[in-house]
Structure 1
Amino acid sequence: MKVIQETQNQMTLRLRPWFLWIFCSILGSSGLIMPLFIAHAHTFSCRRQTSTLGTCQISIVGLLSKTEKEIALSDIQGTEIKTFKDSKDNWRSQVILLTTDGEVPPIANTSPNDVTVKTWAKEIEAFLQDSQKQELLIEYDYRLLAYLYASVFVIADLLIVIFLGKVLICHIDKTLGTLTLEYQGLFDKSQKEYKIRDIQFMTVQKASSKSGSTYRVAMVMQSGEQIPFTSDYTSGLHSKQKTVENISRFLDL
């Protein structure tokens, strides 16, 4: 906590959760940017003019881009299903068109659902073999899923800011004999007042985990109760120790 005012009888300290604000800004930005890159609608459509002539079109539409590829129906020789492991060692499947120009995925996105991929392959094979069928349409649109993920990111970001990203102001008044903790949030403000005579000493509380240790400033009252300044533990032991030293010095604890 930074000392922003100090006189003979009064001291004011302020804690702005900069690290949390930066984290939330990154989290929120990721949620908003995500749909720009992963929200796509994949479409594979074929139209037959005669029993031998026709065209197929592969289309990928995103928020910022659109790609299309046209293949002559006579160039498509069949389909194949490829199964492989992704970077996270999960099995995924993809249907492939076998054409005179090589292998082409009609749906660029891979799927963990093998049944869906097999269904796409059967529909394409059925269309290729039945010259009476005039049209084929396969769609795979996961823009809604991308928007859902983005919404989760943004909502989580807002909740963190609202409940944890509050500015803490500690005001000590020797004349009144009080120590006041004021919490200023986006939509609310609250404060708690304590008597200086009830404070036995200041301390730094520690929480340990596999990822390391985190800390928070707390008051130890004459009753033995420990009252933390913040509900969450954060990194930065030195800054917490400095806050404890400043308050202890000012109150002669």
Structure 2
Amino acid sequence: MRLIKQTANILTIRYLPWGVWLFGSLMVCLGIIALTNAKLMTLSCTRDLQQPTQGQCTLTKSNWLGQIQSQRSLQLQQIKGASFFPVGSSKGRKIYEIYLTTSQEYVPSSIRAWEEMQSEVRRIEAFLKDSLQPQVTLQEDDRFFSYFIGLVIVIIAVGINILFGGISTLSLNKITKKLTLKKQGGLGTKIFECGLNQIDKVIVTSSKVRLHEYHVLMIVLKANTALQQTNIRQVIFGLFFQGIVGSVIILRPPSLFFSRKSDYEKCAKQILDFLHTGGYLQENSDRK
């Protein structure tokens, strides 16, 4: 929350969720990276049945749009066989990369095979030995998986920004004698109003989860004050505190990732001082 306006009669504090926006933007970037890293690897070998020694094997790499990024061809007579080498593992299963063997080098196909799919190598070797077999094709297509992961990440990022990326403005006005909380976000604009004389206390509470300490700034209203909740977090906290400290307005933290207790206490002091000078709170109504 940041102080926007302060006069003798008006106090306005606004929360811009830079942390949420930054986090959402980073997630969108990750989703786009997942999309653009999708690829289709193809190894296609063909033979001229009229001249069985004539033919070629072509290694093709296509991007997520199906556009060819690289291509390499080897004449059939250059290829002596096929082999595979372990390149890693996943979930306890070994992953192999298929190679074409020539008299001078091993040419990687960039096609990965699981431990139980080594029959793909035998398909290539069978093609090389069988002069009556016209064609063999192997493919590794991870585009659907990458599309799915990328889309899920983008949807989550958009959802986070819709739910938690709204701009909150808190205004206390001694002329109208009202507190107004306005939240503008992807779900529309919501406004809550109550009288300044309905405020019971302004408190900062802290709780520790593992090694991190979390702080919450709350404006506690007097009992039986109707409160229109404005987001999921407020609903959760409102339900938790209802009947214990009355209806509660939860003010968002200055940052998503880093929150210093002094920031909350400073914001609480600004509100308390404003209310004290108007006689709306007793001086002993302190922060806890």
**Band the TM-score falls in, shorter-chain normalisation:** 0.7 to 0.9
Code of the residue aligned with 2:35 in structure 1: it is P
Gaps of 5+ in 1: none
Give the aligned residue type for 1:81: F
| Alpha-carbon distance between aligned partners in 1 of 2:84 and 2:254, rounded to the nearest angstrom | 50
Q: In structure 2, what is the Cα distance between the partners aligned to 1:88 and 1:251? A: 60
The total of aligned residue pairs comes to: 249
Partner of 2:249: 227
- Aligned residue identity for 1:40: K
The answer (yes or no) to whether the contact 2:112–2:140 under 8 Å persists in 1 is no
Contact kept in structure 2, 1:178 and 1:195, CA below 8 Å: yes
User: In 2, Cα distance between the equivalents of 1:153 and 1:13?
Assistant: 33
**Contact kept? 1:181, 1:229, Cα under 8 Å:** no
Unaligned runs of 5+ in 2: 224-244, 282-288
For 1:14, the equivalent position in structure 2 comes to 14
The 8 Å contact of residues 214 and 233 in structure 1, kept in 2 or not, is answered as: no
Match for residue 107 of structure 2 among 104, 123, 134: 104
Change (3 A) 1:73 1:165: same
Q: How much has 1:90 moved relative to structure 2?
A: 7.0
- In structure 1, what is the equivalent of residue 53 of structure 2? 52
How far apart, in 2, do the equivalents of 1:208 and 1:80 lie? Answer: 56
**SS of aligned partner of 2:52:** coil
SS in 2 for 1:21: helix
Q: Does 1:183 align with 2:186?
A: no
**How far is the alpha carbon of 1:88 from its aligned partner?**
9.9
Distance 1:48 1:121 in 2: 18
Which of 252, 259, 262 lines up with 1:236 in the alignment?
A: 259
Instruction: From the superposition, tell whether residues 232 and 151 of structure 1 become closer, same or farther in structure 2 (CA, over 3 Å).
Output: farther
In 2: Cα distance, 1:207 partner to 1:91 partner: 45
Q: Contact 1:215 / 1:233 at 8 angstroms: preserved in 2?
A: no
Distance 1:82 1:211, change over 3 A: farther
Deviates more, 1:152-161 or 1:228-237: 228-237
Decide which moves more: 152-161 or 97-106: 97-106
- Aligned partner letter, 2:73: E
C-alpha deviation, 1:101, in angstroms: 2.4
C-alpha distance after superposition, 1:22-73 (max 9, x if no partner)? 221222123224333x111111011112222221010001157611111121
Give the 3 Å change call, closer, same or farther, for CA 245–60 of structure 1 in structure 2. Answer: same
Q: Give the secondary structure class of the aligned counterpart of 2:112.
A: coil
* Alignment map for 1:28-177 (pairs within 5 Å): 28-36=28-36, 38-49=37-48, 50-62=51-63, 63=65, 66-85=69-88, 91-106=94-109, 108-111=110-113, 113-116=114-117, 118-177=118-177
Alignment-mate amino acid for residue 32 of structure 1 = I
141 and 87 in structure 1: CA distance in 2 versus 1, 3 angstrom threshold: closer
TM-score (norm 1): 0.87
| Aligned CA-pair RMSD | 2.6
Identity of aligned residues (%): 25
CA contact (8 A) 2:80 2:101 kept: yes
- The answer (yes or no) to whether the contact 1:207–1:233 under 8 Å persists in 2 is no
Q: Distance in 1 between matches of 2:94 and 2:255?
A: 39
Per-residue deviation, 1:232: 11
